[in-house]
Amino acid sequence: MWTRAIWPCAWCPSLWSPVGPALVNDLAPEHLHGRYNAAFGLTWGLSGAVAPLVAGLLLGSHLADLWPYAVGIGALVGGLLLYRLRSRLTPAEDGRAVAV
């Protein structure tokens, strides 16, 4: 059962790694590519440092049953942020058909 539960932790970053930087570079203005890529890299580093800390606090406080709710809330917030981002993108950036 453990191997089935852990596979998203291995496959999701593997699938996202080649796509993420390209998406960031497509969305960033030409003169801000470096800053956008740095912020993108910071998200991975920050999450790698904060996640074990939060997990340790939850486990130490006997609140381990709360982690599915934390994941759900994080996914909901991420989805809402992506929905908000879509309204700020041009049709060309979003891949929608451009009206002629």
Closest CA to 43 of 66, 74, 11: 74
- Average confidence score pLDDT of the chain: 83
Q: Check whether residue 2 and residue 18 sit in a common domain.
A: yes
Report, as an integer, the average pLDDT of 36-45.
Answer: 88
Q: Are residues 31 and 8 in the same domain?
A: yes
| Residues 19, 46 within the same domain | yes
CA separation for the pair 32, 46 (Å, rounded) = 21
This prediction's pTM: 0.59
What is the pLDDT confidence band of residue 6, given thresholds at 50, 70 and 90?
confident
Q: Are 9 and 45 in the same domain?
A: yes
Total structural domains in the chain? Answer: 2
Q: Measure the CA–CA gap between 91 and 97, rounded to whole angstroms.
A: 7
Q: What is the pLDDT of residue 99?
A: 66
pLDDT value at position 76? 95
Cα 52 to Cα 18, 29, 48: the distances in Å are 25, 34, 7
Burial of 70 (0-12, 13-18, 19+ CB in 10 A): middle
Structural domain boundaries enclosing 1:
1-62
